[in-house]
């Protein structure tokens, strides 16, 4: 094995994965209408979100709905589907990028909402869009070590505020083409929630084995995508170029320990058609084995991988090999193999 870049798991299974969709739909056509004055002034065409990013819709929460309430509901669904009682959970990891405040953690609100025991460890992991896969890896290691028996990995995202702030700012006088394109990615973001339950494979023969995976970092690109509730600012070309270099490096080195060229399904972090096509070209993946949710859900941050997996689950058969894979701003990449 290639040192600390590769992890393997002996006795861990994914017992369930669940998602919760935000109920309101915001179309790219609607955003175009709201941005019409600035698009006209900058001589930019409408339809960029659809043609360039491949994003036609994204979801938003309704009145009195919050991302952490949604995360709790997703967790309740996942626990119910896994057949695991809250009292048996030993670990809760929240991976949400969204947060109402700096402290306390989002995890404490979800821990309380799920009715987990005081013995259940709970904390946040923040690693941009890779957080959920990182959380699964850490939980799997703790299960393998015998420190815990069951873990819940959870994520809730709310893109409403960043979406509104971005549209308002782009409409101000003085905005230039360069400014507009640096915030373009903010307009692709969507809201949603997801949760997964992990446990010992030997106690759950019907579970989906988590075999392990690889991680890689290219933190010299740490300033290419920087986000807050005000907006997400990117150098899109440099970000794509650096991200693909990182993916190719990790994919090539992984061949030493893994064989991922012919998986039954590739569950990618959902960013855009440009991003997906670049990964396909860089790795040689079979495009027909890559389900897409970004056209109708947008980029739901760390929740996008489990949301896509949850939607794809009914089409998977026992024994199917599944690769979870993403690139997160910073830059980091992670790839994790499951056997369904």
Provide DSSP, 148-172. -SEEEEEEEE--HHHHHHHHHHHTS
Task: Exactly one of 29, 30, 57, 103 is catalytic; name it.
Answer: 103
Residue 225 annotated to the active site = no
Residue 245 annotated to the active site = no
Per-residue pLDDT tens digits for 173-232: 999 999 999 999 999 999 999 999 999 999 999 999 999 999 999 999 999 899 888 888
Question: Are the beta carbons of 14 and 201 closer than 8 angstroms?
Answer: no
- Give the integer Cα–Cα distance in Å for 16 and 157: 20
- Give the integer Cα–Cα distance in Å for 155 and 63: 20
What is the average per-residue pLDDT within 240-244? 90
Classify 42 as helix, strand or coil.
Answer: coil
pLDDT of residue 229: 80
Q: Quick one: what percent of the chain has pLDDT higher than 90?
A: 91
Q: Output the DSSP codes for 185-250.
A: GGGGB--EEEEEEEEEGGG-TTSEEEEEEEEEE-GGGTTSEEE-SS-EEE-HHHHHHHHHHHHHHH
- Give the integer Cα–Cα distance in Å for 258 and 181: 38
- Give the integer Cα–Cα distance in Å for 30 and 61: 16
Using CB atoms within 10 A of its CB, is residue 179 exposed (0-12), middle (13-18) or buried (19+)? middle
pLDDT at 25 over 90: yes
Residue 28 lies in a domain: no
Q: How confident is the model at residue 1 (pLDDT cuts 50, 70, 90)?
A: very low
- Give the integer Cα–Cα distance in Å for 63 and 24: 10
pLDDT of residue 4: 61
Residue 70 lies in a domain: no
Q: How confident is the model at residue 5 (pLDDT cuts 50, 70, 90)?
A: confident
- Give the integer Cα–Cα distance in Å for 132 and 14: 13
pTM here is 0.96
Per-residue pLDDT tens digits for 71-119: 999 999 999 999 999 999 999 999 999 999 999 999 999 999 999 999 9
What is the average per-residue pLDDT within 47-70? 96
Residue 184 lies in a domain: no
Could you list the residue range(s) of the whole structural domain that residue 277 is in? 6-10+206-339
pLDDT of residue 164: 94
Chain mean pLDDT for the chain: 95
Q: Quick one: what percent of the chain has pLDDT higher than 70?
A: 99
- Give the integer Cα–Cα distance in Å for 300 and 191: 6
Residue 189 lies in a domain: no
Q: How confident is the model at residue 3 (pLDDT cuts 50, 70, 90)?
A: low
Q: How confident is the model at residue 236 (pLDDT cuts 50, 70, 90)?
A: confident
Per-residue pLDDT tens digits for 123-141: 999 999 999 999 999 999 9
CA 247, 28, 193, 340 dihedral sign is negative
Flag the least confident range among 54-63, 81-90, 111-120, 248-257.
Answer: 248-257
pLDDT at 240 over 80: yes
Residue 241 lies in a domain: yes
**Tally of domains in the chain:** 1
Flag the least confident range among 46-50, 98-102, 229-233, 325-329.
Answer: 229-233
Question: Are the beta carbons of 298 and 188 closer than 8 angstroms?
Answer: yes
pLDDT of residue 339: 98
Q: Output the DSSP codes for 298-310.
A: -B-GGGHHHHHHH
Residues 6+ apart with CB under 8 A from 84: 15, 150, 197, 199
Task: Exactly one of 57, 76, 129, 157 is catalytic; name it.
Answer: 129
What is the average per-residue pLDDT within 232-245? 89
The distance of Cα 145 from the centroid of its chain, to the nearest Å, equals 26
Question: Are the beta carbons of 116 and 148 closer than 8 angstroms?
Answer: no
- Give the integer Cα–Cα distance in Å for 82 and 16: 5
Residue 272 lies in a domain: yes
pLDDT at 42 over 60: yes
Residue 15 lies in a domain: no
Residue 1 lies in a domain: no
pLDDT at 243 over 60: yes
Which CATH number does the domain housing residue 299 bear? Answer: 3.40.47.10
């Amino acid at each position: 094995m290639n040192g600390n870049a590769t992890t393997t798991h002996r006795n861990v299974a994914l017992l369930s994965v669940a998602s919760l969709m935000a109920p309101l739909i915001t179309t790219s056509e609607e955003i175009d209408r709201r941005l019409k004055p600035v698009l006209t002034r900058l001589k930019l065409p409408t339809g960029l979100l659809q043609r360039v990013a491949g994003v036609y819709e994204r979801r938003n929460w309704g009145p009195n709905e919050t991302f952490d309430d949604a995360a709790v509901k997703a967790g309740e669904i996942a626990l119910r589907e896994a057949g695991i009682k809250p009292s048996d959970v030993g670990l809760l990891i929240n991976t949400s990028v969204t947060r109402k405040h700096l402290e306390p953690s989002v995890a404490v609100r979800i821990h309380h909402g799920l009715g987990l025991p005081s013995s259940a460890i709970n904390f946040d992991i923040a690693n941009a869009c890779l957080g959920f896969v990182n959380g699964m890896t850490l939980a799997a290691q703790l299960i393998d070590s015998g420190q815990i028996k069951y873990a819940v990995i959870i994520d809730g995202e709310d893109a409403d505020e960043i979406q509104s702030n971005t549209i308002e700012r782009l409409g101000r006088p003085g905005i230039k083409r360069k400014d507009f394109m640096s915030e373009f990615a903010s307009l692709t973001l969507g809201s949603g929630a997801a949760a997964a339950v992990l446990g010992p494979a030997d106690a759950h023969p019907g579970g989906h084995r988590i075999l392990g995976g690889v991680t890689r970092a290219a933190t010299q690109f740490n300033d290419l995508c920087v986000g807050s509730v005000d907006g997400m600012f990117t150098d899109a070309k440099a970000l794509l170029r650096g991200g693909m270099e990182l993916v190719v490096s990790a994919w090539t080195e992984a061949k030493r320990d893994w064989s991922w060229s012919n998986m039954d399904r590739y569950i990618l972090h959902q960013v855009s058609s440009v991003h997906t096509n670049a990964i396909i070209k860089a790795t040689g993946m079979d495009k027909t084995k890559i389900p897409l949710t970004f056209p109708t859900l947008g980029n739901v941050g760390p929740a996008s991988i489990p949301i896509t997996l949850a939607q794809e689950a009914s089409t998977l058969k026992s024994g199917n090999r599944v690769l979870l894979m993403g690139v997160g701003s910073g830059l980091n990449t992670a790839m994790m193999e499951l056997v369904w």
